[in-house]
Amino acid sequence: MRILLVEDEEKIALFIKRGLQEAGYQVETCGDGNQALDDARNTDYDVVVLDIALPGRDGLSVCRALRQHRRTMPILMLSALDSVPDRIAGLDAGANDYLTKPFAFEEFLARIRALLRKIDATEATSLECADLRVNLLSHKVERAGRPIELSNKEFALLEYLMRSQGRIVTRNMISEHVWNLDFHTMTNVIEVYINYLRRKIDDEFPLKLIRTIRGRGYQISGEP
Ligand code: CA
């Protein structure tokens, strides 16, 4: 497993690199945002660990640019910032997880393992629900053959609903799986994103796929 570690503070970079190598990972380091973007676009890393405050280009911008270029590798964002808006900004930029410095190294490793497990679990390359089709590799979404543009976050939410097709997912489950954040900070954000998805996926079609299950959560289903 090959990891790109983007961190400009040498001591921290060396500490993390050694720890990852001891855990058996191959690690390359980079201390500049522009260089990191080049490296991550041109090499197939299994995970990118990305600091936010970087010379050249900050981590949020690197992350956004990678997702715009359809690079789908898991990204773990590191930052000294710990307010909820900062974490949301990191995740909305397309990061899969967010860890605040200083962190316990064991927790850092556990998060890397969790990100790698998610890749292994991705066996299907496309998911379908009625006439809605979601390609997990290209991130192309279409309904009745018409392409639908989604943001990274909308896509992640839709992917989670599709993987749970026919089951009810609670807001708590969504916040854990899609945002990796505590439920109580997330309620409004989830509703907002469900509405974004509905507008793009259901509004123009008589059969509504995304359903609200009152008092419990949401469900995607192709059954009339
Ligand atoms: Ca830094």
pLDDT tens across 119-151, in order? 655 556 788 999 999 987 778 899 999 999 999
For 168-202, the pLDDT digits (tens) are 998 888 887 787 565 566 668 899 999 999 999 99
CATH class belonging to 2-118: alpha beta
| Structural domain spans, the chain | 2-118, 126-220
pLDDT at 123: 55
Q: Find the 31 Cα to ligand 1 centroid distance in Å.
A: 8
211 membership: H or E segment, kind and range: strand 210-213
- Tell me the residues surrounding ligand 1 (ion) with CB < 5 Å: 8, 51, 53
* Interacting residues of 74 by C-beta distance below 8 A, sequence separation 6+: 46, 47, 48, 96, 97, 115, 116, 118, 119
Q: Is 89 helix (H, G, I), strand (E, B) or coil?
A: helix
Query: According to the model, what pLDDT value does residue 94 have?
Result: 93
Tell me what percent of the residues of the chain surpass a pLDDT of 70: 94
Number of Cβ atoms within 10 Å of the Cβ of 88: 17
pTM check: above 0.95: no
How far apart CA 6 and CA 147 sit, in angstroms, is: 35
CATH class given for the domain over 126-220: mainly alpha
Task: Check the CA dihedral 116-114-177-57 and report its sign.
Answer: negative
